[in-house]
Structure 1
Amino acid sequence: MIIYLNKLLKSKFFKNSFLYTIGSMMTPMIGLVMLPIYTGYLNPAEYGVMTTIQTLVGMLQIFLLLSLNGAVTRFFYDFLEQPEKRKEYLGSIFIFVLLFSTIIATILLLFSNSIGSLLFRNIPIDPFYYYLIGLSCTSALLALPMALFRAQEKAGLFILVNTLKALFIMGLTVYLIVGRDLGAESALIAQLLITFLFVLITFGMLRKFLKFSLNFSLVKQSLLFSLPLLPHVASGWIISSSDRVILEKFVNIADLGIYALAAQVSMVLALFYSSINNALVPRYTMLRKEGNELKASKLLKIFAYVVVIFGVASIPVAMYAIKLFTSDQYYGAIAIIPILLIAQIVKGFYFIPVAKLFYTKKTKIIATSSTLAAIFNIIINIIAIPIIGLYGAIVSTIIAELLRLLLIYKASKSVSASQSNVKISSI
C-alpha cells in the first residue's frame, strides 16, 4: 500500500492534479475571501444581481466557444508527430472562435432591448446586459489558450495564469466596491477588464504554437467532435445555474441573493472536481493511447475516492464558512448549502463515465444523456419554483444530476461491453 501511495504521489497525474486544483481553486477561494466585503458592502439584492450576470456569462460563453476548447484538448494528441500541422490546426481554431464570437456578440448588441427584456425581469438591461456580452466574449477567448495549456500538460503555467488573474480581479474589485462605491457593477467591471488583459497576454505567449490561417477542413473536423458536446456542456450549466435565471422571475432579488450565495459556495466543490478532471482527461487519454488500460482504470478509481472524501468533508466546512465570512442577513444560506453540495457530489461521479466516452469520441451519447437531464431540470424548475420557491430549484438540481449520472453510466457500460465484444471476435 505504501509503495502504491509513493508511486501515486510521484506520478504526473498527481502533480498536475495538485497544480490544477490550486490554479482552478484560486478564483473560488478568493471569492470566499471576498465574502466579507461582498456581504458587508452589498445587500442581498445587489449580490443577487451580480451573481445572476456571472451565471449567464457561463452559459453564453459556452455557445460562443461551441465547445471547441474541448476539441483542442482532444485533437492536440492527434498532431503530436506533425508540429506544423498542429500549428495550423490551433491557429484555425483560434481564428474561427474569434470571428464567430465577434459576429454573435454584434448581433446580441443590436437586439439588446428585446433579448434583455426576455432575460431580465428585475435587473436593469443597462448596464448589466452589456457586461454580460463583454464578459462572455473575453471569457470564451481565454478558454482556448487555457485548453492548450491543459493539452500540453503545462499545469504550472495554468496555475500561474489563473492565480494572477484572480488576484488582479480581487484587487480591482475591492477598489471599485470600497473606494468607488460602484455596488453590483464592481466585480463585473473588474472581471471584464482583467480577463481582456489576460486574453492579450496568453495569445501573445502562444504565438509560436499558432499558424494564423483558417483551414475550414480542420475547423469542420473539430466541430463534428465539439458540437455534440455542446448540449453536454450546456446541460451542466442548465442543471447547476439556470435555476437562478428562473428564480429571478418568481422570487424577490434579496431571496435570490441568499440562494446565489449558497450556490456560489457549493461551486467551490464543483470547481475542485473540475480541476482534478482537468488532469484526469489528458492523463487518461494518454494512458489509453499507450494501451495501459489497467493504469487508466486505477486512475478513475482514485478519482472516485476523491469525490467521496472531499464531498462529505465539504458540508460542515461550507456551513461554517458562511457563518464565519458573511453578515447575518445572509445566514439563510446555511440551511440550503448541504443539499446543494450533495448535488455536486453526484456531479463529481459523473466525470468518470464521461472520461471513458470522451476518449472513445462517443460525444453524441454524452450530449443525449445531458440534454435529457437538462430538459427535465428546466421542467421541474418551472413547475416547482412558483410553488415552493428556492427549494424547488434545489430539488430540481439533485434530481437532474442523478438522472444525468444514471443515463451516462448506462451508456458508458454499453460502449465498454461493445468494445469488449469486438476485441473477443477479433481474437
Structure 2
Amino acid sequence: MRKKVQSLAKSALLKDSVIYLAGELLSKAMPFLLLPYLTRMLGTDGFGELSYYLAIGAFLLIFMSLSQNGAITRYYYVYGKNGLGNLLLAGGLYSFAIFLLGVIISILQKSEGFFYCVLIAFLQSLVQNQLALRQCQKRPFSYFVIQISLAITNVIFTVGLFYLLNENKVIERLMAISLSYFITFSGAILLLKKTFDIRIRPTLKLLKLAIGYIITFGLPLILHALSYTVKGQFDRVLINERFSAHELGVYSAGVQVASVVTVLIMAVNSAGVPYLYERLKTGKIQLAHLHRAFWFSLAVPIVVTLFAYLLPLSLFTFVLGEAFAPSRFYTVFFVFAFSLTIPYLILVNYLFYHAKNAQISACSVISTVVYLLVLWWASVENMQFVPLASVISTAILLPLLYYFTKQIDKKK
C-alpha cells in the first residue's frame, strides 16, 4: 500500500512538473522567438536601452512586491486558505501605494520610460501573487494558462504597437509589456472568483493584520531580493554608464539567450517546491538527501556549459543577426552562471522552509558585495570580464548556504 501511495505521489509530481515545464517553455518560447524580431527592429542601441529600462523595473519590483508571493505560499502551508483573500487584497493595496509614489517621481522627472517601469513592476507584482496562489494550491493548469496568456499577449501587443505607432520603439515595447500584464491579471482575477473558494472580508483590523504579516515576512528578505536583483540586473545599469548602448545591446542579447537555462530550472523548481515542503514536513526528506543532491548537481553546470560552447557561431548570427555575433561569448559564460542556480535552489529552499530569512539575507549580502567588487573591477579592466562577477559571487554563496543548512540540522 505504501509503495502505491509513493507511486501516485511521484506520478502527480511528474504530471505537475510536465505542466509547469510546458508552461515555462511555451511562455518563454514566444518571447525567445520574438528576440530576432526585436534585435532587428530595435538594433543594438535600442535593445541596450530597452535592457536598461527593464533592469530599472526589476529593482522597482523588489519594493513594489516585498516578496508577497513568498508570503502567500508560506501563509497557505502554515495557516491554510482562511484569510488568504485578505492577504491578497492587502498586498495589492500595498503595491498600489508604492505605484502611486513611483508615478509622482516619474512626473517630477518627466520620464515616460520610468513611468512604464513603475507600471510594469506594479502589474508584475499582482501577477506574481496570482501565480503563487495557484502554485501553493497545486493548480498547475491554471498556472499554465496565466503563463501562456502573458506570452501570447506580449507578442501580439509588441508587434501591433510597432506596426500602428512606429515612433519610439523602446517605449512601445514597454507599453506592450504593461498591456500584457494588465490583460493577464484581469483574466486571472475573473478565474479566481470562479475557480477558487477564497473569501475576502476587508475589515480594517484584518487588513492591518495582513499587511503586518506581509511586512514582517518581506522586510528581512529585501536585502536578499535586492542582492538577487543586483546580481541579475546591475551589470546592465553599470554597462549603460561606462560603455555604449551598442555594447550593452550585444551583452544583453547574450544574457537573454542564456536565460533559457534559468527557465528550465525554475520550471522544475516551481513544480517541486510544494512537494518538497510536504515531504520535509512529514520527514520523508531529510537534510542528508538534499546535501547528496547538492553534490551531484555541481556537475550539471560543467556539462551544460560544454554543450553551449559547442553551438556554432552561425546559429547565433542566424537567430540574432550579424551585429549580435559577439553575444555568443556572453551566452556561454552565463549558461555556466545560471546553471549554478540548481545547487543554490536545493539549499535555499530548505532554508526558506525553516523561515531562516535572516541567514538567507546575510548570505545574499556577502555574495552581492563580492559581485559588486568583481563587477566594478571588470567594468574598468575589460567588458568581457563582467560575467565573472556572476560566477564568482555564486561560487561564494553556495558554501555559506551549505553551512547554514547544517546548523539547522544540528539544532534538531
TM-score (norm 1): 0.85
Task: Check if 1:253 corresponds to 2:245.
Answer: yes
Give, in whole Å, the separation in 1 of the partners of 2:276 and 2:231: 26
- Report the CA distance shift for 1:221/1:107 in structure 2 as closer, same or farther (over 3 A): closer
Q: Does 1:195 align with 2:184?
A: no
Correspondent of 2:353 among 356, 359, 380: 359
> Where do 1:305-324 residues align within 5 Å?
307-308=300-301, 313-316=307-310, 321-324=315-318
CA distance in 2, matches of 1:278, 1:159: 11
Counterpart in the other structure of 1:346: 340
> What's the CA shift string for 1:205-249, capped at 9, x where partnerless?
223413142432344234333322232222221112210011111
Matching residue of 1:399: 392
- Match for 1:336 among 330, 352, 357? 330
Q: Secondary structure at the match of 2:386?
A: helix
- The whole-number CA distance in structure 2 between the counterparts of 1:151 and 1:305 is 28
Q: Is the 8 A contact 2:90 2:210 kept in 1?
A: no
- Other-structure match for 1:154: 139
Structure 1 pair 25–311 and aligned structure 2 pair: CA distance change class (3 A) = farther
Residues 1:408 and 2:393 are matched in the alignment: no
- The answer to which of 144-153 and 11-20 deviates more is 11-20
Q: Which residue of 2 aligns with 1:205?
A: 191
Contact preservation (8 Å) 1:101, 1:137? yes
| Aligned pairs for 1:7-406 within 5 A | 7=7, 10-80=10-80, 86-88=81-83, 90-112=84-106, 126-182=111-167, 183-207=169-193, 208-213=197-202, 214-293=206-285, 297=289, 301=293, 304=297, 307-308=300-301, 313-316=307-310, 321-388=315-382, 390-406=383-399
Cα 1:215–1:108, aligned 2, differ >3 Å: closer, same or farther? Answer: closer
Q: In structure 1, what is the Cα distance between the partners aligned to 2:322 and 2:279?
A: 50
How far is 1:26 from its partner?
Answer: 2.8
Identity of aligned residues (%): 21
Taking the aligned partners of 1:162 and 1:49, their CA distance within structure 2 comes to: 26
State the Cα deviation string for residues 8-60 of structure 1 (Å, max 9, x = none): 99522222222212212333321221122112222101011112222222221
Q: Measure, in 2, the Cα distance between the counterparts of 1:132 and 1:8.
A: 44
Alpha-carbon distance between aligned partners in 2 of 1:387 and 1:306, rounded to the nearest angstrom = 30
1:287 and 1:184 mapped to 2: Cα distance? 46
* Pair 256,319 (structure 1): closer, same or farther in 2 beyond 3 Å: same
Change (3 A) 1:286 1:351: same
Residues 1:151 and 1:317: Cα distance change in structure 2 (over 3 Å) = farther
**Distance in 1 separating the partners of 2:140 and 2:401:** 28
How many residue pairs get aligned? The number is 400
Counterpart contact for 2:287–2:409, Cα < 8 Å? no
Aligned counterparts of 1:299 and 1:414: Cα–Cα separation in 2: 13
User: Compared with structure 1, are the counterparts of its residues 186 and 27 closer, same or farther at alpha carbon in structure 2 (3 Å cutoff)?
Assistant: farther
**Secondary structure class of the residue paired with 1:206:** helix
Q: SS at the partner of 1:210?
A: coil
Opposite residue 132 of structure 2, the aligned amino acid is A
CA distance in 2, matches of 1:312, 1:152: 38
Could you state the TM-score of these two structures normalised by the residue count of structure 2?
A: 0.88
8 Å Cα contact 1:265-1:318 kept in structure 2: no
The CA deviation at 1:384 is 2.7
**1:299-334 CA-partner distances (Å, limit 9, x unpaired):** 983993895565654554596652331110011101
What SS does structure 2 have at the residue aligned with 1:293?
A: coil
Deviation of 1:292 after TM superposition, in Å, equals 1.3
CA distance in structure 2 between the partners assigned to 1:153 and 1:320 by the alignment? 42
Give, in whole Å, the separation in 2 of the partners of 1:310 and 1:195: 32
Distance (whole Å) between structure 2 residues aligned to residue 250 and residue 372 of structure 1: 25
What do the CA deviations read for 1:263-308 (whole angstroms, capped 9, x no partner)?
Answer: 1111221122112111222110011122212699379839938955
Question: Unaligned regions of 5+ residues in structure 1, if any?
Answer: 81-85, 117-124, 420-427
**Contact 1:72–1:147, Cα closer than 8 Å, also in 2:** yes
Distance 1:323 1:15, change over 3 A: farther
Moved more, 271-280 or 103-112: 103-112
Q: Check the 8 A contact 1:20/1:155 in 2, yes or no.
A: yes
Q: Which amino acid aligns with 1:148?
A: L
**Structure 2: segments with no counterpart, 5+ residues:** none
Structure 1 window deviating more from structure 2 (19-28 vs 298-307): it is: 298-307
Deviation for aligned residue 1:375: 2.3
Q: After the TM superposition, which of the residue ranges 374-383 and 41-50 deviates more from structure 2?
A: 374-383
Q: 1:165, 1:370 → 2: CA distance?
A: 30
Counterpart of 2:352 in structure 1: which amino acid? F
Q: Does the CA contact (< 8 Å) of 2:360 and 2:401 recur in 1?
A: yes
Alpha-carbon shift at residue 357 of structure 1 (Å): 0.8
From the superposition, tell whether residues 272 and 368 of structure 1 become closer, same or farther in structure 2 (CA, over 3 Å): same
For 2:131 and 2:309, how far apart are their aligned partners in 1? 30
Q: 1:298 to 1:206 in 2, by over 3 A?
A: same
Go from structure 1 to structure 2 and tell me whether the alpha carbon gap of 1:361 and 1:320 turns closer, same or farther (over 3 Å shift): farther
